[in-house]
């Protein structure tokens, strides 16, 4: 069993390291952006965060100028966090601050000393950035551990944040946009005094909360409370685990403990015999079983060390904190295993020697736990495989459909509008919602933008009717012909027109149509970016060409597209117009999105393979454990039955039941899950279940092969040895 101890120790180590690595990177990414973290933690300052948006401000430039003036008059400090876009229309994060003491950046590691950067001075030209590609002598870089970094659907694969002196915000074009922002106010005043100051001197003069006084409705957040919730501990990494990883970790840790306990209890008879001979029980226990403890700890520690060399590789200021966390993790793990090891000794010490030597009842407890664990493993991991396969299948179909779309790479997606955000219901929220669609439609018409949707009224009429909605601009590039082979001109359509491909002719009779119908040869396969997995786009759908989009348009349902060759302005100008008049948006290149989809397809495929292989390994080890427990406990009985001519089926029915029962129970629960998710629903869910069924069948085959092999080995070695008078 010791080889299984090593396997599970290595697995627990890998999961622990990866969880801690992701947790630390997330913590570092968050806290390195906090300009006064260290000073607030030490109690030198109080900090309060106010999150809101500029959507309802009439003079945003004056508003932010007033923030600077109020902070300077009160000898306080502030940091303003906003999003903007660069010359390519892609998002960038901006921070403007007038902090006077840079020691607050206590979490971040920089490419050079920043103590002499004066963020509160109007002549300071130096700044901080997270973008490693900036070539500017005035830039100082925030450094990061290696990680797989994605940004906005892979628009860029590097960070793009900047920390500027406060004066840079004056007349900054980002303030013209309707954006969400965060104001952090730092002072030696109390939190209550800071709140009162911000409400009365910054917000209320600009009617920031509408007709209400801000102090009666606004809820700020204490930065100290936020920081205390983000403590960097080895246990934090466990809570950071996703639900999938957490399940694997729990299963691995449980099987490790079961295997360790069984390995030790399997040697209990020898301990008892030595105890009867007068040997010291603790010394005997240590001399026989301490190797199990060492294997468990050393396997974990060596795996962690190897992972450290692969992912970190050097000991410096950047890696110091993470390395210390790893050392604490190893010590904590060693202590945890030591406690379990000691508890097993206490249990063994409390056993009645004579009674224990006459029975094998202790094995049945391990057998029951092993069978239950196997059933849970089969159900949990196969459902995880199924969920990842579902994501893989949907993403792969989406990518395939997009790759078949000849116009896909000719357009750029415009992101979802950034909506107003306030920690209360703002009086103007409903008015903004009422005005957004007419405003957006005017912008779409002004710049000749394309729009597409296939999720309207989900999941009822439109999905049943198989209709995609698109405007004339969107369809201009497609070569769609009528039944006589003549190209269709969309510019001449004055009414909403339904294009019906030959393949969908049978569906017309069951539809209620209001407007002209045009039968065409074929139509392109179109899939909206907002279409989820319930929208199947693998076959030709009818296309409603909207001559009057106002009857159908809702910004929440429709994708908006920019075209280099059709749109009547540069991308950055279109984005600026939408951001300044409606809400902040950014451009997303479809080439970048296609790369993102390919990466997602590969990731989901790898996850399916990894979890399925892990499942097979878990099943294999659980089977080995179950077989060993049953065969070791009943080998004398099996030998007698063998000599008596009892059939194999009767001799090994206990082993067969112990092997197949948890597998079949687990698979039954999986099949029930498949039924509930894909068949017992009101809408058609398009997914290829063949691979899932293949996984189920292959697990049954694996179970059977391992069972047959172990029984063959038992008869060939152990059973023949017993019959010949060997050790029993």
> pLDDT tens-digit profile of 170-213?
989 889 999 999 999 999 999 999 999 999 999 999 999 988 89
> What is the pLDDT at residue 289?
81
Structural domain includes residue 181: yes
Structural domain includes residue 252: no
> What is the pLDDT at residue 94?
93
Last residue of a domain, one of 595, 625, 642: 595
Please answer whether residues 59 and 168 qualify as being in contact, where contact means their C-beta atoms are separated by less than 8 angstroms.
no
Tell me: pLDDT of 216 over 70: yes
- Averaged pLDDT for residues 668-688: 75
| Strand partners for 247 | none
Q: Residue 158: pLDDT band by 50, 70, 90 thresholds? A: low
Q: Distance from first CA to last CA of the chain, Å, rounded?
A: 19
585 vs 82, 176, 418, 441, 469, CA distance in Å?
13, 13, 6, 15, 22
3-state secondary structure of 235: helix
Least confident stretch, 169-173, 402-406, 433-437, 658-662: 402-406
- Averaged pLDDT for residues 506-520: 74
Q: Residue 24: pLDDT band by 50, 70, 90 thresholds? A: confident
Structural domain includes residue 580: yes
Q: Which residue has the higher pLDDT, 688 or 567?
A: 567
Q: Which residue has the higher pLDDT, 4 or 246?
A: 4
> What is the pLDDT at residue 698?
92
> What is the pLDDT at residue 1?
66
Which H helix or E strand runs over 469?
A: strand 467-471
Map 247-289 to HEC letters: HHHHHHHHHHHHHHHHHHHCCHHHHHHHHHCCCCHHHHHHHHH
The closest of 232, 238, 294, 233 to 12, measured between CA atoms, is 238
Phi and psi at 112, nearest 5°, equal -160, 170
How far is 534 from 64, CA to CA, in rounded Å? 45
- Averaged pLDDT for residues 147-153: 48
Q: Which residue has the higher pLDDT, 2 or 617?
A: 617
DSSP letters, 65-95, are: HHHHHHHHHTT-EEEEEEEEE-TTS-EEEEE
The closest of 239, 303, 445, 331 to 14, measured between CA atoms, is 303
Q: Residue 591: pLDDT band by 50, 70, 90 thresholds? A: confident
Tell me: pLDDT of 149 over 50: no
The closest of 469, 601, 467, 602 to 536, measured between CA atoms, is 467
Cα atoms in the Cβ-side hemisphere of radius 13 Å centred on 231 = 7
How far is 587 from 590, CA to CA, in rounded Å? 9
> What is the pLDDT at residue 534?
56
309-352 pLDDT per residue, tens:
988 878 888 888 889 888 988 998 898 888 888 888 887 777 65
Burial pattern 512-521, b for ≥16 Cβ within 10 A else e, equals: eeeeeeeebe
3-state secondary structure of 587: strand
Structural domain includes residue 240: no
Phi and psi at 170, nearest 5°, equal -60, 125
Q: Residue 64: pLDDT band by 50, 70, 90 thresholds? A: very high
Q: Which residue has the higher pLDDT, 454 or 142?
A: 142
Last residue of a domain, one of 197, 232, 267: 232
Structural domain includes residue 106: yes
119 vs 135, 466, 575, CA distance in Å?
21, 57, 30
Tell me: pLDDT of 493 over 80: yes
Peptide bond into 459 cis (omega under 30): yes
Residue with tokens 């407007």: 515
Please answer whether residues 382 and 251 qualify as being in contact, where contact means their C-beta atoms are separated by less than 8 angstroms.
no
Q: Which domain holds residue 73?
A: 32-232
Q: Residue 154: pLDDT band by 50, 70, 90 thresholds? A: very low
Tell me: pLDDT of 227 over 90: no
How far is 357 from 274, CA to CA, in rounded Å? 12
Structural domain includes residue 659: no
Please answer whether residues 103 and 110 qualify as being in contact, where contact means their C-beta atoms are separated by less than 8 angstroms.
no
Structural domain includes residue 6: no
Q: What is the mean pLDDT of the chain?
A: 83
Total domains in the chain come to 2
Strand order in the sheet with 139-141: 139-141, 127-129, 161-165, 91-97, 77-85, 180-187, 46-53, 221-222
246-293 pLDDT per residue, tens:
656 666 677 677 777 777 777 777 777 777 777 787 888 788 888 888
Q: What is the DSSP letter of 218?
A: -
Tokens for 471, please give them.
């405007």
How far is 450 from 566, CA to CA, in rounded Å? 9
Q: Which residue has the higher pLDDT, 150 or 625?
A: 625
> What is the pLDDT at residue 152?
44
How far is 77 from 183, CA to CA, in rounded Å? 11
- Averaged pLDDT for residues 537-558: 88
Last residue of a domain, one of 192, 209, 232: 232
Contacts for 578 with CB less than 8 Å, ≥ 6 apart: 414, 417, 440, 443, 585
277 vs 30, 270, 273, 348, CA distance in Å?
62, 11, 6, 16
Query: Can you list the positions of beta strands (E) in 557-614?
Result: 559-563, 587-589
> What is the pLDDT at residue 164?
95
Please answer whether residues 378 and 670 qualify as being in contact, where contact means their C-beta atoms are separated by less than 8 angstroms.
yes
How far is 20 from 208, CA to CA, in rounded Å? 42
- Averaged pLDDT for residues 109-127: 92
Structural domain includes residue 117: yes
Contacts for 482 with CB less than 8 Å, ≥ 6 apart: 488, 518, 519, 520, 521
Please answer whether residues 632 and 267 qualify as being in contact, where contact means their C-beta atoms are separated by less than 8 angstroms.
no
> What is the pLDDT at residue 361?
46
| Packing angle of the helix pair 429-447, 571-581 (nearest 10 deg) | 160
How far is 186 from 205, CA to CA, in rounded Å? 20
Contacts for 312 with CB less than 8 Å, ≥ 6 apart: 145, 146, 319, 322, 323
pLDDT-above-70 percentage for the chain: 87
- Averaged pLDDT for residues 405-409: 86
120-147 pLDDT per residue, tens:
999 999 999 988 888 899 999 998 887 5
Tokens for 489, please give them.
């001109």
- Averaged pLDDT for residues 89-113: 87
């Amino acid at each position: 069993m010791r080889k299984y101890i090593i396997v599970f120790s290595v697995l627990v180590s890998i999961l622990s390291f990866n969880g801690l690595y992701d947790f630390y990177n997330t913590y570092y990414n968050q806290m390195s952006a906090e300009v006064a973290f260290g000073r607030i933690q030490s109690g030198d300052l109080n900090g309060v965060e106010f999150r809101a948006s500029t959507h309802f401000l009439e003079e945003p430039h004056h508003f932010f100028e007033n923030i600077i003036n109020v902070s300077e008059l009160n000898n306080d400090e502030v940091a303003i966090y906003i999003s903007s876009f660069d010359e390519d229309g892609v998002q960038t994060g901006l921070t403007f601050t007038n902090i006077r003491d840079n020691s607050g950046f206590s979490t971040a590691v920089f490419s050079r000393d920043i103590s002499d950067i004066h963020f509160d001075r109007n002549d300071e030209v130096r700044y901080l950035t997270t973008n490693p590609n900036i070539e500017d002598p005035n830039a100082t870089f925030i450094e990061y551990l290696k990680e797989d970094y994605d940004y906005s659907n892979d628009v860029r694969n590097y960070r793009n944040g900047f920390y500027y002196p406060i004066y840079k915000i004056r007349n900054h074009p980002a303030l013209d946009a309707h954006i969400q922002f965060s104001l952090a106010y730092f002072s030696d005043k109390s939190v209550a005094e800071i709140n009162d100051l911000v409400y009365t001197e910054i917000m209320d003069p600009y009617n920031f909360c509408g007709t209400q006084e801000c102090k009666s409705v606004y809820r700020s957040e204490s930065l100290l409370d936020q920081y205390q919730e983000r403590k960097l501990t080895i246990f934090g990494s466990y809570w950071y685990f996703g639900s999938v990883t957490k399940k694997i970790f729990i299963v691995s840790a449980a099987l490790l403990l079961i295997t360790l306990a069984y390995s030790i209890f399997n040697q209990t008879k020898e301990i008892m015999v030595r105890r009867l001979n007068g040997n010291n029980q603790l010394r005997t226990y240590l001399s026989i079983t301490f190797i199990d403890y060492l294997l468990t700890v050393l396997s974990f520690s060596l795996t962690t060390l190897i992972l450290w060399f692969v992912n970190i590789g050097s000991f410096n200021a950047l890696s110091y904190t993470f390395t210390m966390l790893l050392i604490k993790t190893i010590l904590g793990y060693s202590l945890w295993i030591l406690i379990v090891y000691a508890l097993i000794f206490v249990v063994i010490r409390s056993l009645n020697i004579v009674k224990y030597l006459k029975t094998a009842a202790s094995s049945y407890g391990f057998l029951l736990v092993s069978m239950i664990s196997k059933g849970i493993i089969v159900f949990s991991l196969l459902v995880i495989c199924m969920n990842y396969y579902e994501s893989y299948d949907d993403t792969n179909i989406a990518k395939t459909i997009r790759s078949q779309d000849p116009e896909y790479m000719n357009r750029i997606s415009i992101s979802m509008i950034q909506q107003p955000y306030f920690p209360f219901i703002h009086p103007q929220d409903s008015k903004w919602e009422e005005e957004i669609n007419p405003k957006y439609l005017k912008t779409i018409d002004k710049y000749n933008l394309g729009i597409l949707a296939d999720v309207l009224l989900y999941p009822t009429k439109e999905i049943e009717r198989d209709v995609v909605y698109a405007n004339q601009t969107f369809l201009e590039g497609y070569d769609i012909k009528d039944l006589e082979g003549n190209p269709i001109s969309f510019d001449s359509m004055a009414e909403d027109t339904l294009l019906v491909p030959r393949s969908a002719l049978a569906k017309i009779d069951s539809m209620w149509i209001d407007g002209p119908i045009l039968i065409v040869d074929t139509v392109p396969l179109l899939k909206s970016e907002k279409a989820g997995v319930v929208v199947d786009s693998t076959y030709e759908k009818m296309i409603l060409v909207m001559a009057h989009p106002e009857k159908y348009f809702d910004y929440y349902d429709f994708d908006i597209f920019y075209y280099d060759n059709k749109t009547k302005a540069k991308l950055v100008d279109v984005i600026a117009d939408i951001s300044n008049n409606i809400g902040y948006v950014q451009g997303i290149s479809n080439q970048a999105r296609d790369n993102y989809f390919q990466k997602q397809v590969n990731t989901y495929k790898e996850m399916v393979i990894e979890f399925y292989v892990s499942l097979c390994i878990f099943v294999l080890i659980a089977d080995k454990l179950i077989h060993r427990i049953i065969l070791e406990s009943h080998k004398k009985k099996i030998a007698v039955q063998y000599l008596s001519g009892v059939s194999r089926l009767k001799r090994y029915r206990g082993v067969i039941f112990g092997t197949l029962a948890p597998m079949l129970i687990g698979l039954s629960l999986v099949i029930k899950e498949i039924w509930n998710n894909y068949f017992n629903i009101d809408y058609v869910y398009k997914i290829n279940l063949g691979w899932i069924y293949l996984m189920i069948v292959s697990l049954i085959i694996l179970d059977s092969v391992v069972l047959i092999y172990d029984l063959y080995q038992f008869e060939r070695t152990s059973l023949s040895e017993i019959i010949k008078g060997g050790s029993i």
